[in-house]
A and B are shown apart, each in its own frame.
Chain A
Amino acid sequence: MNGLKVRFRKLANRWRKPETILAALFLVILVYLVVVPLFSLVQTTLVWGTGDTRIRGENVVVGKFTTYHWRRMLSGDFAEAVFYKPLLNTLIVTAGTVAIVLAVGSLLAYLVVRTDIRWAKLINALATVPYILPSWVLSLSWLQLFQNSTVAMPEGLLSYYTGINAPEWLVYGPIPIMITMGLHYYPFGYLLISGALRSIDSQLEESAEILGASKSYIMRRITMPIIKPALFSTALLGIARSMGTFGTPAILGLPARYYTLSTQIYSLVRTQRQGQGYILALVLLAISGIGLYVNQRVISARRSYATIGGKGVKSRKVRLGKWNTPIAVLTILFLLAVAVFPLVFLTWSSLTLYAGDYSISNLSLHYWIGESNPRFVAGEPGILRNEAVMGAAWNTVKLALVGGLICGFAGLLIGYVVARARRALTSRLLEQVSFVPMLVPSIVFGALYLTLFAVRRGPVPALYGTFALLVLVTVAKQLPYTVRSGVSSMLQVAQELEEAAVILGASWFARLRKIMLPLTKNGFVAGTVIVLITSMRELSLYILLVTPANRVLTTLTYRYIEVGYTQFSNAMTVLLTLLVVVLTYAINAWQKTDIGAGLGGR
């Protein structure tokens, strides 16, 4: 009896600690935002939906159990067309994309980190630019460059200036999808791999050299194994991201009826066939899960590699010699082609009154500031005086700021809980669960929230069509990034710094406000900025969730792309890009000036 009492008191003592309460609170919220949706997703595939009442020859009772969706998706002509074909396409496109990400990412990383290439700083800066561009910028500009009359489109730049008509496979389908997605996603490969390369102490390689190993042998047996975890992470992230990307395959695939899983999910959900669409979502999820499992197996066995070098790493640079300048120029041209020219093309296109005519006389600011004219884009006024566009732009900024701040703060608090009680089961669970959204493809995540918040459930109101739902989905989806930066910045703050304040009688809130938050501000800002950028240019996540009431720039742009308002949507894309760049730049500038002297650490 007494033992029980003591145990109870011990438990009560533990619950007095704010980190325990916070951990429990976050766990409940995360379970609701991440785990419950998964169940709801599975459930939807096993019951009749409201859109199924049209189906003949079946006893359709909405909400009742059925295996109809699975039967239909697994065999027969329908399954062939909407499941197996798109699955194969997805695998092909994903493989191609990841290959490009790895090739471009590692080549650039090698050039910048391990060679004495000229203008390395400029190359490094340019290499990360595609990351902040919306994913479909490249696909739109790809069309702007290659489209022509053979695909029943207005002339693109290539055709206009040279008369060469690109064949259809170069305009639409897997090849352009792979290339544009690969060139959009390579920056994170570049960042991961260059980080790994930087951490290699060249003494490791020099030792091998002294022992008589050849360059290629050293590369194979020493350098590659060390950066292997980074390569695997790159591949895994590449798979998760490109599989869940909607914009690029929609723009470059749908006109040629080339479906991937993400576009197929979209079209099924849009036609009220959630039951079937979500089966595809589960397939995407399963592939990501397998990827995660493989990655864990590969990396956990090699975790000890992560700390190699660390301090005072000496890196001897490979001399490029007389090839230095040509290689540097080529690299810069390539990066400009990927990061800058697309925007130039889109801007140019947005300034042409009639599509396909690039002559001076056709230049016009109509799609930017023109008054409503029924002859163009069904009378939509130019984007800067268009209420729908401006509303969506405002929504985008609002969403990015609100979502970014909430997400950054939540990441920091979760980081605090995790860092304070590394051993506790709750913190390990918390860390694991908060990373799940990273692997759920965006389009699937959107689908999850569509089912979860379509109707009122218990105390949680129906949020479909509200701004709050967009904030929620943003926070949940981007949480892995802020949790990661939150954990690492909290771990950098020695526990003693907080304990000193405990001894001196500061309450938990006082400690948080005066000690922990000021010391982790950099991590907070970094996490918030990432969420901000990602959510502003995110289309796949929101495409299933928006209604005319809560549109954001990306989804509105896609609507105009769908109906073929090329110049108009190009103008919007440019506007969005400008917003992202300006906001990112502003926050960076503000954050730098705001960090006081003495924050250099002890």
Chain B
Amino acid sequence: MVTVRLVGISKGWSGVKAVDNLSLDIGNGDFVTLLGPSGCGKTTTLRMIAGLEDPDDGEIYIHGKLVFSASKGINVPPAQRGLGMIFQSYALWPHMTVFDNVAFGLVQQKLSKDQINQRVTRVLADVELEGLAHRYPSELSGGQQQRVAVARMIVVSPELLLMDEPLSNLDTRLRMQMRASLKRMHQETNTTVVYVTHDQEEALTMSTGIAVMNKGKLEQYASPEEVYERPASKFVAEFTGNPQTNFIDAEVVDGRLKIGDRFIGHIDGDALPNAVTLSFRPEAMSIRQESTPNTLPATVYATLLVGASVLVYVHIGNIEAVIRAERGSKFRGNQEIWLEPDWTQVNVYSPTTGRRLDYAVRG
């Protein structure tokens, strides 16, 4: 069952395409994240689903109902699309109390005072804000404000909830807590969520599906595991890297991979290209103290301790790369080391198009 269906939607301003012919299906009960750098069109897409922005082209269906069509001239107002939206700034009305903020949507629906009271009280309890109903937004902490914003939208029980970077204004610790509580809310209410973020970690931790966008186009739409393990393009691999993804160009000689003047590993498949780009996550390489077959020589540039592990910045020839090593590993600057890839975690890309190539690699 599909909740949101985007068919070829485009939107541009003065010649620049913010969203370019985007098609996407979001299933019932999914938590789908639109992930991408700023300016990739993710927020515009979300706002078009909400009806706050009109596409130049394409069609939008929500719950099977056509809510926007450029060619048929259909444009259903936001309020009749049966959705809620949580804004990056929370957009709480500063002149209204928490209660009035949350009750706003119910007042618009002209519910009775008793009903409003009941539902607001219940939803405030759900987000653990009971007792704060008569505070003003400016008297709340960031996390509390965020929960008011959530309460204000879920109180009208929308079947679709749109969130525009709702956690980006919170500090790290609070952000983690709120991730957990949003995820739990999603499980409990079984609402479909479309979530916009530029934080790959947030996307990976929370979503059932990730749509990676770049320059208005969809780069990859898949499960978090798939996006992380098999990025469809160099862009996706790069953007989901933590702290970065390493790319190394290799020549293909008789089914073997050649980096610099060193042969390393094999590549299988028909019609092999002459050159490929290999991607390694920092954890996809192990550091060896001496040269063995299938290893790459490198020199240590710097070592950073990041809590559970150590990040070793190395130079492979003139390429900079990051390797994640066990905590306690000690390296000197300029020390000679050898890197051994974990071939199951290596992806192959076309150096020209940047798309993933479906060749198997092995040691």
Q: Give which listed residue, A6, A423, A497, A598, contacts B139 with CB less than 8 A.
A: A598
Q: Give which listed residue, B83, B95, B104, contacts A506 with CB less than 8 A.
A: B104
Instruction: Quote the shortest CB–CB distance from B162 to chain A (angstroms).
Output: 8
Q: Give which listed residue, B71, B84, B137, contacts A602 with CB less than 8 A.
A: B137
Q: Contact between A510 and B94 (Cβ–Cβ < 8 Å)? A: no
Q: Contact between B93 and A519 (Cβ–Cβ < 8 Å)? A: yes
**A window 489-534: CB within 8 A of B:** 494, 496-497, 499-506, 510, 514-515, 518-519
* A312 is an interface residue with CB less than 8 A from chain B: no
Q: Contact between A494 and B79 (Cβ–Cβ < 8 Å)? A: no
* A271 is an interface residue with CB less than 8 A from chain B: no
Instruction: Quote the shortest CB–CB distance from B85 to chain A (angstroms).
Output: 5
Instruction: Quote the shortest CB–CB distance from B71 to chain A (angstroms).
Output: 6
The verdict on A496 contacting B91 (CB below 8 Å), with A6-B73, A9-B73 known, is: yes
The verdict on A503 contacting B83 (CB below 8 Å), with A13-B75, A602-B145 known, is: yes
Instruction: Quote the shortest CB–CB distance from A420 to chain B (angstroms).
Output: 12
For A597, the closest partner residue in chain B by CB is B136
* B121 is an interface residue with CB less than 8 A from chain A: no
For B156, the closest partner residue in chain A by CB is A504
For B92, the closest partner residue in chain A by CB is A602
Q: Contact between B94 and A6 (Cβ–Cβ < 8 Å)? A: no
B 98-129 binary contact with A (CB < 8 Å = 1; else 0): 00000011001100000000000000000000
Complex CA–CA separation, A358 to B335 (angstroms): 101
Complex CA–CA separation, A501 to B105 (angstroms): 8
Q: Contact between B52 and A502 (Cβ–Cβ < 8 Å)? A: yes
Q: Contact between A500 and B97 (Cβ–Cβ < 8 Å)? A: no
Q: Contact between A500 and B91 (Cβ–Cβ < 8 Å)? A: yes
Q: Contact between A503 and B153 (Cβ–Cβ < 8 Å)? A: yes
Instruction: Quote the shortest CB–CB distance from A421 to chain B (angstroms).
Output: 12
Q: Contact between A515 and B89 (Cβ–Cβ < 8 Å)? A: no
Q: Give which listed residue, B85, B138, B152, contacts A499 with CB less than 8 A.
A: B85
Number of residues of chain B lying within 8 A (CB) of chain A: 37
**B window 53-105: CB within 8 A of A:** 54, 70-71, 73, 75, 77-80, 83-85, 87-95, 97, 104-105
**A window 4-36: CB within 8 A of B:** 5-6, 9-10, 12-13
Complex CA–CA separation, A212 to B239 (angstroms): 48
Q: Give which listed residue, A2, A504, A519, A598, contacts B105 with CB less than 8 A.
A: A504
Complex CA–CA separation, A420 to B88 (angstroms): 19
Instruction: Quote the shortest CB–CB distance from B116 to chain A (angstroms).
Output: 13
Q: Contact between B84 and A600 (Cβ–Cβ < 8 Å)? A: no
Q: Contact between B87 and A6 (Cβ–Cβ < 8 Å)? A: no
Complex CA–CA separation, A497 to B70 (angstroms): 27
Interface of A, helix, strand, loop or mixed by DSSP: helix
* B150 is an interface residue with CB less than 8 A from chain A: no
The verdict on A598 contacting B79 (CB below 8 Å), with A502-B52, A505-B108, A506-B108 known, is: no
* A596 is an interface residue with CB less than 8 A from chain B: yes
Complex CA–CA separation, A500 to B52 (angstroms): 10
Q: Contact between B91 and A497 (Cβ–Cβ < 8 Å)? A: yes
Q: Contact between A494 and B94 (Cβ–Cβ < 8 Å)? A: no
The verdict on A600 contacting B94 (CB below 8 Å), with A9-B73, A499-B85 known, is: yes
Complex CA–CA separation, A502 to B93 (angstroms): 13
The verdict on A503 contacting B145 (CB below 8 Å), with A494-B91, A598-B95 known, is: no
Residues of chain B contacted by A502 (CB below 8 angstroms) = 52, 77-79
Instruction: Quote the shortest CB–CB distance from B294 to chain A (angstroms).
Output: 54
**B window 232-254: CB within 8 A of A:** none
Instruction: Quote the shortest CB–CB distance from B29 to chain A (angstroms).
Output: 21
* A599 is an interface residue with CB less than 8 A from chain B: yes
Q: Contact between A518 and B89 (Cβ–Cβ < 8 Å)? A: no
Residues of chain B contacted by A510 (CB below 8 angstroms) = 108
**B window 122-164: CB within 8 A of A:** 136-139, 145, 152-153, 156
Residues of chain B contacted by A76 (CB below 8 angstroms) = none
B 310-342 binary contact with A (CB < 8 Å = 1; else 0): 000000000000000000000000000000000
Residues of chain B contacted by A497 (CB below 8 angstroms) = 91, 93
For B104, the closest partner residue in chain A by CB is A504
Residues of chain A contacted by B87 (CB below 8 angstroms) = 496, 499-500
Number of residues of chain A lying within 8 A (CB) of chain B: 31
Q: Contact between B95 and A599 (Cβ–Cβ < 8 Å)? A: yes
Q: Contact between B71 and A6 (Cβ–Cβ < 8 Å)? A: yes
Complex CA–CA separation, A599 to B136 (angstroms): 8
Complex CA–CA separation, A519 to B52 (angstroms): 21
* A461 is an interface residue with CB less than 8 A from chain B: no
The verdict on A505 contacting B79 (CB below 8 Å), with A5-B73, A598-B97 known, is: yes
* B50 is an interface residue with CB less than 8 A from chain A: yes
For B53, the closest partner residue in chain A by CB is A499
Complex CA–CA separation, A496 to B71 (angstroms): 28
A 590-602 binary contact with B (CB < 8 Å = 1; else 0): 0000001111111
Residues of chain A contacted by B83 (CB below 8 angstroms) = 503
Complex CA–CA separation, A142 to B196 (angstroms): 68
Instruction: Quote the shortest CB–CB distance from A502 to chain B (angstroms).
Output: 5
Residues of chain B contacted by A505 (CB below 8 angstroms) = 79-80, 105, 108-109
Complex CA–CA separation, A502 to B153 (angstroms): 12
The verdict on A599 contacting B94 (CB below 8 Å), with A13-B54, A13-B73, A505-B79 known, is: yes
Q: Contact between A515 and B93 (Cβ–Cβ < 8 Å)? A: yes
Q: Contact between B138 and A602 (Cβ–Cβ < 8 Å)? A: yes
Q: Contact between B85 and A601 (Cβ–Cβ < 8 Å)? A: no
Residues of chain A contacted by B71 (CB below 8 angstroms) = 2, 6
Instruction: Quote the shortest CB–CB distance from A424 to chain B (angstroms).
Output: 12
Residues of chain A contacted by B79 (CB below 8 angstroms) = 502-506
Q: Contact between A519 and B89 (Cβ–Cβ < 8 Å)? A: no
A 83-124 binary contact with B (CB < 8 Å = 1; else 0): 000000000000000000000000000000000000000000
Q: Give which listed residue, A12, A499, A506, A598, contacts B91 with CB less than 8 A.
A: A499
Q: Contact between A6 and B70 (Cβ–Cβ < 8 Å)? A: yes
For A13, the closest partner residue in chain B by CB is B75
Residue among B78, B95, B136 having the largest count of chain A Cβ atoms under 10 Å: B95
Complex CA–CA separation, A10 to B52 (angstroms): 15
Complex CA–CA separation, A602 to B141 (angstroms): 10
Complex CA–CA separation, A363 to B163 (angstroms): 76
Complex CA–CA separation, A13 to B68 (angstroms): 11
Complex CA–CA separation, A202 to B24 (angstroms): 54
Instruction: Quote the shortest CB–CB distance from A14 to chain B (angstroms).
Output: 9
B 213-244 binary contact with A (CB < 8 Å = 1; else 0): 00000000000000000000000000000000
Q: Contact between B73 and A503 (Cβ–Cβ < 8 Å)? A: no
For B73, the closest partner residue in chain A by CB is A9
Q: Contact between A598 and B70 (Cβ–Cβ < 8 Å)? A: no
Complex CA–CA separation, A602 to B94 (angstroms): 6
**A window 524-557: CB within 8 A of B:** none
Residues of chain A contacted by B92 (CB below 8 angstroms) = 602
For B106, the closest partner residue in chain A by CB is A504
Instruction: Quote the shortest CB–CB distance from A28 to chain B (angstroms).
Output: 25
Residues of chain A contacted by B80 (CB below 8 angstroms) = 505
Complex CA–CA separation, A500 to B83 (angstroms): 11
Complex CA–CA separation, A554 to B137 (angstroms): 47
Instruction: Quote the shortest CB–CB distance from A541 to chain B (angstroms).
Output: 36
**B window 8-29: CB within 8 A of A:** 13
**A window 392-450: CB within 8 A of B:** 423
12 residue pairs A–B, Cβ–Cβ below 8 Å: A9-B73, A494-B89, A496-B91, A499-B78, A503-B84, A504-B108, A505-B79, A519-B93, A597-B136, A598-B136, A598-B138, A602-B89
Interface of B toward A, CB cutoff 8 Å: 13, 50, 52, 54, 70-71, 73, 75, 77-80, 83-85, 87-95, 97, 104-105, 108-109, 136-139, 145, 152-153, 156
| Inter-chain pairs besides A423-B13, A602-B92, 20 sampled, C-beta below 8 Å | A494-B89, A496-B91, A500-B85, A500-B87, A502-B52, A502-B77, A503-B52, A503-B78, A503-B84, A504-B79, A506-B79, A510-B108, A514-B104, A518-B95, A519-B95, A598-B94, A598-B139, A601-B94, A602-B90, A602-B137
- Sorted nearest first, the 8 A-B pairs with minimum C-beta distance are A598-B136, A9-B73, A505-B79, A504-B105, A496-B91, A496-B87, A500-B91, A505-B108
Interface of A toward B, CB cutoff 8 Å: 2, 5-6, 9-10, 12-13, 423, 494, 496-497, 499-506, 510, 514-515, 518-519, 596-602
